[in-house]
Amino acid sequence: MANGDDGRQFILIAGFVHDVTDFIDSHPGGRALLKNILDAIVKLLNSKSIMSNKSEQDQIDRRDSTLSSDSTSEWVRFGNTKVMKYSKEYHHKRSKNNRAVKKSRQKTKESKKARELKMATLVTENQQLTNRVDQLTKELESLKSSYRNIASNIIN
């Protein structure tokens, strides 16, 4: 890692200079993480077992040439806009999205509770109506029976 004149931090990977200042500023332990990554890359590149095969080196060179010159700046989409990953705007949009997801989940949970409550009241109401129908059916049968008795007594 190297410091620029304006205090920005730079690293050199595969012949490309990358500005990592925003990453270091926005991630606690970012500097230590990058140092560990760079140490691992150096060990990997110095490993004779990986770099001994010429065809593997050629494949790596071809892959490096196909990468863009700014390989660390990943771009992500938020709707119709593209934002550089790990930038302040990215973090702002992520937190805004996280709040929206949380709100949506809360609304879904409340809606589910309301449906369950409504279902419970409808089940109770249905049971009461079923009991009322049974009661009225018994009364109707009783009245029919009484009517038949009265009618048969009048006829006799």
Q: Would you list the domain boundaries of the chain?
A: 2-72
pLDDT (0 to 100) of residue 51: 52
- pLDDT digit string (tens) for the chain, length 156 residues: 667 677 788 777 767 777 888 877 887 787 787 778 777 777 777 765 555 555 555 655 555 444 444 445 688 888 888 888 888 888 999 999 999 999 999 999 999 999 999 999 999 999 999 999 999 999 999 999 999 999 888 887
- On whether the pTM is more than 0.85, the answer is no
What gap in Å lies between CA 91 and CA 26, rounded to an integer?
9
Burial of 21 (0-12, 13-18, 19+ CB in 10 A): middle
pLDDT in the model for residue 100 = 96
Q: What is the predicted pLDDT for the residue at 70?
A: 46
User: What amino acid occupies position 125?
Assistant: E
Q: Are 8 and 21 in contact (CB under 8 A)?
A: yes
